[in-house]
Amino acid sequence: MVQIGQQALLHIIVHLIFLVIVWWAMQAFNFDAWIRKGKVVQARVLYILFVISIASLVSDFFLKYLQFSTNLSQLFG
C-alpha cells in the first residue's frame, strides 16, 4: 500500500512540475493577435486548456518512460 501511495505522490508532483513548465513556456507566444475583441474570457479558458493538455501529454510520456526504464531490470534479472 505504501508503494501505491508513493506512486500517486510521484504522479501528482510530476504533473504539477510539467504544468508549471508548460505554462512558463507558453508565455513565449503572443496570443493577443489571435484574440477577437470582447472574447478575452474565452481566450483565457482556451489558453488554460492548451496548457493542461500539453502538460498532460508531456508528463504522461515522462511517467511511461520512467516506468518502462525501471521495468527493463526484469528483462535481465
Check residue 68 and give its pLDDT. Answer: 93
**pLDDT tens digit at each of 77 positions of the chain:** 788 899 999 999 999 999 999 999 999 988 888 888 888 899 999 999 999 999 999 999 999 999 999 898 888 86
Check residue 36 and give its pLDDT. Answer: 85
* Residue the block writes with cell 510539467: 18
Please state the domain extents for the chain: 2-76
